[in-house]
């Protein structure tokens, strides 16, 4: 509506003030000129200061899954000097990690009970239908302002850069054989010590298998943590 008022006021000013022959035409032209200036001020205020609008915040929460196979991890890519980061997150429905946006978007990572991404997005919306009708022709309703991403991840998760994750994978591959050999020796030592402590264990295959699986998992977890400490 404001654009139509601007156009009509210009036309009215041109035909009544510029070409005026009577005093009422001059007066009407001055009124049209005043309406034009006022409309121009309002349009400027709408563009610059979002006159007639209010800030609204929409919150969305989505479940996260690990951004890499074999390890609970949230990946990121550092930008510039590393003070800014683009996070690569994945949801149960996505096949590939999704990067966070960079324009007017901030990211932070906090410790949570379950992995999730909480996004708070701010917009400019018109205060009511009157302002929407008045300025709506400029098509700036629900204008994006900024967004804040909060990654809530459990303490058991790791937050690694893409380069760190790549280095971790390379080290794990290189040391797989030596780890397997070392693990077998340690498990054999543990098993012998357990049998000395409880001789009945020597004939209890089910219990021995349970212990071997337990020790293997513990050694794998320790190896992974050692590798993580090395690349971080």
Structural domain contains residue 29: yes
Categorize the per-residue pLDDT at 231 as very low, low, confident or very high, splitting at 50, 70 and 90: confident
Do 98 and 184 have their domain in common? Answer: no
Report the 10 Å Cβ neighbour count for 125.
Answer: 16
Do 224 and 126 have their domain in common? Answer: no
Do 43 and 59 have their domain in common? Answer: no
Q: How far are the Cα atoms of 93, 125, 154, 216 from residue 169, in angstroms, in the given order?
A: 25, 47, 22, 19
User: Of 49, 72, 87, which residue constitutes the final position of a domain?
Assistant: 49
Do 72 and 113 have their domain in common? Answer: yes
Listed residue (82, 102, 98) closest to 90, CA to CA: 98
Categorize the per-residue pLDDT at 158 as very low, low, confident or very high, splitting at 50, 70 and 90: very high
Do 88 and 37 have their domain in common? Answer: no
Q: How many domains does the chain have?
A: 3
- Judging by beta carbons within 10 Å of its beta carbon (0-12, 13-18, 19+), is residue 32 exposed, middle or buried? buried
Structural domain contains residue 170: no
Do 7 and 105 have their domain in common? Answer: no
Over residues 29-63, the pLDDT tens digits come to 667 667 777 777 777 788 888 889 999 999 999 99
Residue 107's domain comprises: 54-130+138-160
Alpha carbons within 13 angstroms on the beta-carbon side of residue 40 total 10
Structural domain contains residue 26: yes
Do 92 and 189 have their domain in common? Answer: no
Structural domain contains residue 11: yes
Do 21 and 109 have their domain in common? Answer: no
Do 44 and 91 have their domain in common? Answer: no
Least confident of 114-118, 149-153, 221-225: 221-225
CB 118 within 8 A of CB 60: yes
Predicted local distance difference test score (pLDDT) of residue 61: 97
CB 159 within 8 A of CB 109: yes
Do 10 and 95 have their domain in common? Answer: no
């Amino acid at each position: 509506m404001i654009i139509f008022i601007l156009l009509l006021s210009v036309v009215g000013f041109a035909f009544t003030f510029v070409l005026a022959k009577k005093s009422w035409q001059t007066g009407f032209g001055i009124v049209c000129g005043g309406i034009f200036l006022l409309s121009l001020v309002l349009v400027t205020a709408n563009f610059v200061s979002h006159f007639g609008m209010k800030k609204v915040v929409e919150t969305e929460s989505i479940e996260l899954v690990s951004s890499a196979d074999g390890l609970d991890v949230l990946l990121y890519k550092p930008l510039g000097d590393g003070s800014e980061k683009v996070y690569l997150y994945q949801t149960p429905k996505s096949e590939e990690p999704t990067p966070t946006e960079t324009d007017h978007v901030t990211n932070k990572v906090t410790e949570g009970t379950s992995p999730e991404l909480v996004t708070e997005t701010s917009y400019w919306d018109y205060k009511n239908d009157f302002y929407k009708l008045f300025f709506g022709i400029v098509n700036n309703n629900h204008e994006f302002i900024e967004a804040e991403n909060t990654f809530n991840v459990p303490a058991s998760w790791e937050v690694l850069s893409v380069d760190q994750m790549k280095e971790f994978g390379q080290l794990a591959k290189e040391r797989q054989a030596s780890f397997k050999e070392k693990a077998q020796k340690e498990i054999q030592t543990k098993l012998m010590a357990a049998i000395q402590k409880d001789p009945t264990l020597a004939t209890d295959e089910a219990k021995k298998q349970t212990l071997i699986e337990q020790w293997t998992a513990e050694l794998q977890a320790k190896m992974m943590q050692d590798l993580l400490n090395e690349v971080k």
